[in-house]
Amino acid sequence: MVITFVYSFNRGTERLDLWHSLRQLSSTQSLPWLCLGDFNVSLSEDERVGYAASERDMQDFRDCLSYCSLVDHPYSGGLYTWYNKQVASPRWAKLDRLLANPAWFLQVPNSNVVVLPVGVYVVSQGWRVGQLGSRIFTLFSKLRYLCGSLKKIHSNEFAGLSARVLASKEELTASQRELQSSPLDQQLLSKEKSALGAYIKLKEAELRALAQRAKVTHLQQTDDNTRYFYASITARRTRNTVGAIEDIHGNYCAGHTELSQAFLAYYQTLLGSSEEVTLLPSLSSHHILTATSTLDVMVTSKEIEDALFSIDRNKSPGVDRYTSGFFKDTWGVTWSDFTAAVQEFFRKGTMPRAANSTLIALIPKCDSPRSVT
């Protein structure tokens, strides 16, 4: 069995030596062969978005693979493995790949390849932290550990998303104007196709982000959505804001401090009472239900997974800032710790305070509320 790791040059002329070396290796051995890495070139235009590739460079790559009898290993996951992270002109491409010869598939017929998105890869790296105590504590420790890395991804990938969409649309419009002067120019056709793909990708990301912020489930694929979503966000924030209120004594309160004290005093009268609780009389034996054995059965991994995946991915996160969508997208990495934590809670009946903390949001149930009561 032969495994070759590749990290290629950026220029096509500099990659010629690599193609020659791969041909020589292919001619001197017939073992199962796996060739993987960053080849810095795509196989076709369909593997690039945002810019055109050299047809000569791609043909050299295809000729080399044909000579060596190397083909793409079947994989699951995303197509693109590289992104330039440029706001004005985003570019995407498949530059990294895993290739195999026929002998490999005969020797290892059940081999599997998963292309992880950048975010999932970061999670898989951070998830290598060992067990730090109870399974629940371990899960929440790993989630806290990931916060910094995920924030960096968010700032790199999604910061200024609306501005990037506008810049991408302008680039698409410019390429379409060029195409009007030479409708059959293959280079301009390729440029317009790449610009359109980049714009659609950014626009879809913007709409998903706005839909989550606006809590709007109805989504129509039109450019007017942006104005609709921003209006929905503004209206929702205004509707749920309380600027002034009467406290339990009828006094007018305004400002963050006074409002907080007014609501705190009201809920302390409801929840902070020290009155003794009257216990119910003991139930006679014929009122007690006999538990069946099924009530004591531990929840299964499948039941936990089904419960998680039934939650809408855009539901508001808890204090840990992770939505169900995060766990769904990274389930292949996080499922073991997540499942173990849930089962530990059912087994022991206890939960660390850090895992049991929550946020309480007071949302008005009527328009223009006058009193805390």
Return the residue matching tokens 């096509």: 12
Amino acid identity of residue 149, one-letter, is S
Helices (H) and strands (E) in the chain, counts: 13, 11
Nearest to 73 by CA among 32, 18, 125, 16: 32
Residues 90 and 168 in one domain: no
Q: Residue 309 domain-assigned?
A: no
Three-state SS at 321: coil
CA atoms of 198 and 165, how far apart (whole Å): 9
Q: pLDDT digit string (tens) for 130-160?
A: 666 788 888 888 888 887 777 776 676 666 7
Of 115, 133, 160, the last residue of a domain is: 115
Three-state SS at 38: strand
Residues 69/26, Cβ–Cβ less than 8 Å: yes
The boundaries of the domain holding residue 19 are 2-115
Residues 337/214, Cβ–Cβ less than 8 Å: no
Residues 204 and 174 in one domain: yes
Give, for all 373 residues of the chain, the pLDDT tens digit: 899 999 988 888 899 999 999 999 999 988 999 999 999 999 888 888 777 778 899 999 999 999 999 999 888 777 778 777 665 567 788 888 999 999 999 998 888 887 766 666 677 776 776 666 788 888 888 888 887 777 776 676 666 777 888 888 888 888 888 888 887 888 888 888 888 888 888 887 777 766 666 554 444 444 455 665 666 666 666 766 777 888 888 888 887 788 888 888 888 887 765 555 565 555 454 454 555 555 667 889 999 999 998 988 767 666 667 888 888 888 888 888 899 999 998 888 887 776 666 666 677 777 777 787 7
CA angle, residues 59, 64, 69, in degrees to nearest 5? 125
User: What integer pLDDT is reported at residue 189 of this predicted model?
Assistant: 82
Q: Residue 299 domain-assigned?
A: no
Residues 140 and 172 in one domain: yes
User: What integer pLDDT is reported at residue 186 of this predicted model?
Assistant: 81
CA atoms of 192 and 173, how far apart (whole Å): 9
End-to-end CA distance of the chain: 75
For the chain, how many structural domains are there in total? 2
User: What integer pLDDT is reported at residue 222 of this predicted model?
Assistant: 45
Residues 29 and 83 in one domain: yes
What are the backbone dihedrals phi and psi of residue 76, each rounded to the nearest 5 degrees, phi first? Answer: -125, 155
CA atoms of 29 and 1, how far apart (whole Å): 10
Can you give the length of the chain in residues?
A: 373
Q: pLDDT digit string (tens) for 320-354?
A: 678 888 888 888 888 888 999 999 988 888 877 76
Find how far residue 204's CA is from the centre of its chain: 14
CATH at residue 24: 3.60.10.10
Residues 108 and 179 in one domain: no
Residues 141 and 43 in one domain: no
- Distances in Å between the Cα of 42 and the Cα atoms of 18, 67, 68, 90, 93 are 15, 17, 17, 17, 7
Name the H helices within 159-255: 161-181, 186-214, 225-239
User: What integer pLDDT is reported at residue 119 of this predicted model?
Assistant: 62
What are the backbone dihedrals phi and psi of residue 310, each rounded to the nearest 5 degrees, phi first? Answer: -85, -10
Nearest to 316 by CA among 215, 204, 229: 215
Q: Where are the beta strands (DSSP E) in the chain?
A: 2-7, 33-38, 48-49, 71-72, 75-77, 82-83, 92-93, 96-100, 113-115, 244-246, 252-254
Residues 27 and 101 in one domain: yes
Q: Residue 73 domain-assigned?
A: yes
Residues 9 and 74 in one domain: yes
Model pTM score = 0.49
Residues 201 and 97 in one domain: no
Q: Spell out the residues 6+ positions from residue 84 whose beta carbon is closer than 8 angstroms to its own.
A: 50, 90, 91
CA atoms of 180 and 188, how far apart (whole Å): 10
Find how far residue 112's CA is from the centre of its chain: 22
User: What integer pLDDT is reported at residue 218 of this predicted model?
Assistant: 47
Q: Spell out the residues 6+ positions from residue 185 whose beta carbon is closer than 8 angstroms to its own.
A: 179
Residues 95 and 129 in one domain: no
CA atoms of 158 and 155, how far apart (whole Å): 6
Of 96, 115, 134, the last residue of a domain is: 115
Tally of CA atoms within 13 A in the half-sphere of 116 that contains its CB: 12
Residues 52 and 89 in one domain: yes
User: What integer pLDDT is reported at residue 194 of this predicted model?
Assistant: 82
Of 187, 219, 239, the last residue of a domain is: 239
Q: Residue 190 domain-assigned?
A: yes
Q: Residue 269 domain-assigned?
A: no
